[in-house]
Amino acid sequence: MFRAFTALAGAALVMAACAANGAPAQPAPPAETEAPAQAPAAFSAEGLAALEARMAQFVADGDTAGISTLLVHQGRVVSQMQAGIRRAEDGAPVTSDTLYRIYSMTKPIAAVALLMLYEDGAVSLDDPITDYIPEFAGLTVHVEGAAPRPVARPPTVREVMSHTAGFAYGLFPATVPDEQLRAARALQQPDMDAFINVVAGIPLLSDPGEQWYYSISSDLVGVLVERISGQSFGAFLEERLFAPLGMDDTGFAVPAGEYDRLSDVWSWSERTGDYRPVRAPQFAFREDTLAMESGGGGLVSSMADYERFTRMLLAGGALGDVRILQPETVALLTTNVLRPDQTLFATATTGQAATGMGYGLGVGTLDGPPATRRGHAPGSHFWGGAAGTWYWIDPENELIFIGMIQRFRIGAPPVDFRGISAELVYQALAADG
């Protein structure tokens, strides 16, 4: 279950475009590694070499066309590597400045933005969302075999941020609200207001607070930021977060002059048994192909930019002299808020719970075995994206790991990028730590 959410989150994105055409990925060039001259005492040089070699092996094995990873320990980059290609047409290699569709790794960024407004005193986490989205005054709850009934009460901001508000997503085929969101193309609406008008007419899965369900909630977080701040979501992020942190490569569209840096995205072809580049407009991330500015999955970013964002979180909300959040607010973001009966993905997949994992106000948490068995200290937090990007932050061991790939694995043999990378990181740490 540790990798389940990336596969699930990709479903809606590739449903119409996974019959990918085009030439298979070109042979990968040798791995390109940028490592310190001498590994710090806490990591073994042999362990870091094994980590980087295994990450490059994913390309050699055909599990991904290209990969970039980064490991930061106690504020120092101890491992950075790239292997493979970013573009099928000419075999252009992955480089340190390649741009990636980070999809659901947008969610922690959206959460930070709303928590900035919380620190400003502009919103309370226990406010009903109808204070800001009055269109939701008539929300209903799905009842199997009967007409929807009125919701017991409006969801709170806290419940929206923690995916316990009762909303569906449109990614999963098992529920009527999911099917209705998908049929209404909720996530393809041109702007926030159109999105809200669609969502307002679709029943919730349950009353607020009853269950955790991976949902459109982070897109609603973007709506809340927009309505509370009076700015567009993108303008708020640029002014309050990206510009102060120096995240110059992060946004909802790739500037024309930077488009050469954007990686292709690949999907699995059942016919050929390998990954093929996807050429559908919704994956282009150009201004003229964008729908709304999605808080749940709309951003493109670079390794360097996401490193700056994660460094800020690990440091308790500050990067150098720039403070984004107070440490106690970062703790709100990264501390599990779920009850023992509110388990991740238990209702979104086959009923199997992701034990040892929880959820804060925008990130997954790793609180105990088996989630921590690969070495993560309790209190670690993480998330990932539909095209395979992933990260985790381990405050106890003062480390950050980020992996960037671009492929939808629906139908492909499962490959545990996150788990394998974690095992090798902590093996290298334990060797000399």
Vertex 305, ends 304 and 311: CA angle to 5°?
Answer: 90
Does 236 score more than 50 pLDDT?
A: yes
Beta strands in 42-174 (DSSP E): 66-73, 76-84, 99-101, 140-143, 146-150
pLDDT tens for 37-66 read 455 558 999 999 999 999 999 999 999 999
Whole-prediction pTM value?
0.91
pLDDT tens for 320-334 read 999 999 999 999 999
What confidence score (pLDDT) does residue 430 get?
A: 79
What confidence score (pLDDT) does residue 241 get?
A: 98
Using a 10 angstrom Cβ sphere, with 0-12 exposed, 13-18 middle and 19 or more buried, the burial of residue 218 is buried
pLDDT tens for 288-340 read 888 899 999 999 999 999 999 999 999 999 999 999 999 999 999 999 999 98
Instruction: Give the DSSP per-residue string, 151-163.
Output: -SSPPBHHHHHTT
Q: Which residues neighbour 200 within 8 Å (Cβ) at sequence distance 6 or greater?
A: 135, 136, 138, 139
Q: Given pLDDT bands bounded at 50, 70 and 90, which one contains residue 252?
A: very high
Instruction: Give the DSSP per-residue string, 163-196.
Output: T-S----S--TTSHHHHHHHHTTGGG-SSHHHHH
What confidence score (pLDDT) does residue 353 get?
A: 56
pLDDT tens for 63-102 read 999 999 999 999 999 999 999 999 999 999 999 999 999 9
Classify each residue of 368-393 as buried b or exposed e, where b means 16 or more C-beta atoms within 10 Å of its C-beta.
eeebbebbbeebbbbbbbbbbbbbbb
User: Residues 100-115: what's their mean pLDDT?
Assistant: 98
How many angstroms separate the CA atoms of 277 and 310, rounded?
29
- The secondary element (H helix, E strand) that includes residue 12 is helix 11-14
HEC string of 303-362 equals HHHHHHHHHHHHCCCEECCEECCCHHHHHHHHCCCCCCCCCCCCCCCCCCCCCCEEECCC
- Going by C-alpha positions, the residue among 110, 100, 156 that lies closest to residue 133 is 156
3-state secondary structure of 376: coil
